[in-house]
Amino acid sequence: MTSTKPLKSLKQKITLAFYIIVGMALFNGVVAILLSQQLKSEIEHLVGVDVVKVTTALQLAKNSEKLQIITARLNHYDNEQQRLRLLSELSAQWELLINDSRLLALIETATVSKQELNHALDIQLYYLQQLPLLAELTDSALQANLQATNIQANLTSMASGFTDEMQTQFHSINADSERQLKLKNFDKIAMNINTNQQLSQFSHLGEHLFTRLSQVKIIDNLVELNRTQREAMRLLLNMEAILEGVSGDTSLYFNLLSQIKQTMVGEDNLFELSRKAIKSTHIANAHLEYQADAAQIVATYTQNLVNQVENEIQQTGGELKSDSTAFIILIFCSGILYCFFIWLTSWHFITKGIIKPVMATRDAMNAIANEKLDTHMPVTDNLELQQMVNSLETLKSYAAQVKGMAETDGLTGCYNRRYLDIQLQKELEYARDHNMPLGIILFDIDNFKQFNDRYGHVAGDQCLKNIVNAAKSILKRPTDMLARYGGEEFMIVLPSSHLEEVYQFAELLREKIISLEIPHEDSPHAGILTISAGITCWQLPQQLDANSLINRADEALYHAKLTGRNRTEALLGQPIRYS
Ligand SMILES: Nc1nc2c(ncn2[C@@H]2O[C@H](COP(=O)(O)OP(=O)(O)OP(=O)(O)O)[C@@H](O)[C@H]2O)c(=O)[nH]1
């Protein structure tokens, strides 16, 4: 049987299966590479960008904290030198912040965040640029204070000299008064008393003036400073007025007052310098407040930035985790799918397409080798296997022919002696195994030599065929078998038949041959052809082989011949004559 499907070459099938498996492997490989590339870029982003981002943001937050500390210290400074040092630290801190902000703005990819970072950077740059002005103001205050300190040092020295001078003056007046008292120069004494009083007032005002002037260095607001300046001026004028009324040489005091006045009203006087220092400090303080506010804003911003970056990292980490899980699942599924496709391809192309047809072909070959010639030929769409099946079909028909030739008699078409021997042995074994009887009939044409001699061998051959056809026509069971035993002798094997049944069949056959009415002029039986039959039957517990059984049938046939032919004789241990 041939397949209706178009035949395909085995080589093509195996090549196709190979390409499918390799294609699937490549597809799997490409999918795995693409997925791993995606994961790789996510990990790189996490490690290369996000980690740098969070590190920089944390650094930024740390620096902004330091910035706050410095601005706080700037507001509570001890002196301008310290403030200048702190301003330098502040400048360095702003620069660190700006560097961090620049780095963050550089690695930031989101447009909005980048804009925010650039804006923050602009603010930081603005406050950094304010610092030279602050330093300048602080330096200005420092210089003014230094000059004011010098003036005050001078004033302190003057105050000390003034006090000493006044003491000396009072001692001198008192000594003079004592002398005048001895001289009873009361006018001079009265004048001394008056001078003493005026100088006391002068001294008192002087002390007060020096005190007020010494307080200038601790004044930190302009109102107080102006008020002190006015008071000092009033004291100075009062002192001048008192000195105007003092008799004697007052040039020393006027000179002193001139020096004091110089510190109060001249160029870069004490009050002007203090005013300058206070103003610079006030402006610097105002700017410092902005710096402090900016530091506060930057600290808040950086803290938010840290939170934002941490959130981003958590988000990226979460995405990476879910992507990794998806990657593993995808690889697993594609692996399963790949295995399934390999199995499907192997099953379809190799198992179903090659192995099964090959095994079916092998089974068919085995069956044919075992003479089972009714076996079906396998159906395949393989070109090469179909060619094998076609050859096997030819072999099968040859085998059938050979088997037929090996089993059948060429002249009559019934089984031959070879086949009979094999089958009889099998039937005997079957009967023994199943405790069944087995009957055989050995029959022979009577006086066939004379028939040949009279009618010729061709007629004899035809006669043999007719006899066989007649015998076949009365064989009803498929297990019954007719075989040519040799020459004009035939045997019928009747399984599961007792002697009585065998006899009846032999008689039926004999009568059937008679009924053919084949003319045989040399026959003593009404001139027609007859047969003689010897029968026997085997049954347990008899111990008998096939040859012994045949010999018994042959002996019975011999008896039939001896006793006149055209008859049936049985031998079951002893010959039994039925008729
Ligand atoms: N035409 C033909 N004759 C055959 C064939 N086989 C055997 N014979 C003949 O059958 C004859 C058998 O002769 P015999 O053995 O003497 O037996 P018979 O003449 O039948 O005598 P009985 O058997 O005693 O009745 C021989 O002449 C054989 O030549 C065959 O195939 N064709």
In 448-510, the DSSP E strands lie at: 481-486, 489-495
Tell if the pTM clears 0.80, that is, is over it: no
Residue 449 Cα to ligand 1 midpoint, Å, equals: 4
In a domain, 256, yes or no: yes
> Which atom, in ligand 1's list, is nearest to the CA of 453?
27
Strand order, beta sheet including 489-495? 481-486, 489-495, 438-445, 531-538, 568-572, 574-577
In a domain, 545, yes or no: yes
ipTM: 0.98
Catalytic residue among 108, 272, 488, 569: 488
Partners of 375 in the β-ladder:
none
Distances, alpha carbon 370 to alpha carbons 131, 206, 395, 497, in Å: 112, 152, 13, 30
In a domain, 216, yes or no: yes
Q: Is the CB of 452 under 6 A from ligand 1?
A: yes
Q: Is the CB of 562 under 6 A from ligand 1?
A: no
Residues 429 and 564 occupy one common structural domain = yes
Rounded to whole angstroms, the Cα distance separating 347 from 361 reads 18
Residues 273 and 252 occupy one common structural domain = yes
Rounded to whole angstroms, the Cα distance separating 448 from 532 reads 11
Residues 422 and 560 occupy one common structural domain = yes
- Residue 510 belongs to a domain with what CATH number? 3.30.70.270
In a domain, 480, yes or no: yes
Q: Which of 452, 531, 565 to mutate to test the pocket of ligand 1 (most atoms within 8 A of CB)?
A: 452
Boundary residue ending a domain (359, 386, 407): 407
Residues 458 and 529 occupy one common structural domain = yes
pLDDT of residue 3: 44
Q: Give me the number of domains the chain comprises.
A: 4
Residues 66 and 170 occupy one common structural domain = no
Residue whose CA is closest, atom 12 of ligand 1?
Answer: 449
Q: Is residue 488 among the annotated active site residues?
A: yes
Range of the domain at 492: 410-577
Report DSSP letters for 374-415, one per residue. TPPPPP--BHHHHHHHHHHHHHHHHHHHHHHHHHB-TTT-SB
Residue whose CA is closest, atom 29 of ligand 1?
Answer: 449
Residues 100 and 152 occupy one common structural domain = no
> Largest Cα–Cα distance of the chain, in whole Å?
231
Residues 442 and 556 occupy one common structural domain = yes
Residue whose CA is closest, atom 32 of ligand 1?
Answer: 461
* φ, ψ of residue 27 in degrees (nearest 5): -60, -45
Residues 440 and 567 occupy one common structural domain = yes
Q: Which of 468, 484, 488 to mutate to test the pocket of ligand 1 (most atoms within 8 A of CB)?
A: 488
Would you state the structure tokens that stand for residue 187, as one six-digit string?
């006018």
Residues 236 and 315 occupy one common structural domain = no
Q: Is the CB of 447 under 6 A from ligand 1?
A: yes
Residue with tokens 């099953």: 347
Residue 36 Cα to ligand 1 midpoint, Å, equals: 96
Indicate the DSSP class of residue 354. I
In a domain, 88, yes or no: yes
What is the number of other CB atoms lying within 10 angstroms of the CB of residue 245? Answer: 12
pLDDT of residue 11: 79
Would you state the structure tokens that stand for residue 253, as one six-digit string?
């005091």
Residues 330 and 445 occupy one common structural domain = no
Residues 481 and 563 occupy one common structural domain = yes
Q: Is the CB of 485 under 6 A from ligand 1?
A: no
User: Could you check whether the bond before residue 541 is cis, i.e. omega within 30 degrees of 0?
Assistant: yes
In a domain, 346, yes or no: no
Tens place of pLDDT for every residue, the chain, 579 residues?
Answer: 444 667 777 777 778 878 888 888 888 888 888 888 888 887 877 777 777 888 888 888 898 889 889 988 888 877 888 888 999 999 999 999 899 888 888 888 788 888 888 888 898 899 999 899 989 998 998 899 899 999 999 999 999 999 999 999 999 999 999 999 999 999 999 999 999 999 999 999 999 999 999 999 899 899 999 999 999 999 999 999 999 988 888 888 899 999 999 999 878 899 999 999 899 888 888 888 888 888 888 888 888 888 887 887 788 788 888 888 888 888 888 888 888 888 888 888 778 777 888 888 888 888 888 878 888 888 877 788 888 888 888 988 888 888 888 899 999 999 999 999 999 999 999 999 999 999 999 999 999 999 999 999 999 999 999 999 999 999 989 999 999 999 999 999 999 999 999 999 999 999 999 999 999 999 999 899 999 999 999 988 887 789 999 999 999 999 999 999 999 999 875 444 444
Q: Is the CB of 446 under 6 A from ligand 1?
A: yes
Q: Is the CB of 498 under 6 A from ligand 1?
A: no
Q: Is the CB of 449 under 6 A from ligand 1?
A: yes
In a domain, 122, yes or no: yes
**How many secondary structure helices (H) and strands (E) does the chain include?**
14, 6
pLDDT of residue 420: 96
In a domain, 191, yes or no: yes
Residues 178 and 252 occupy one common structural domain = yes
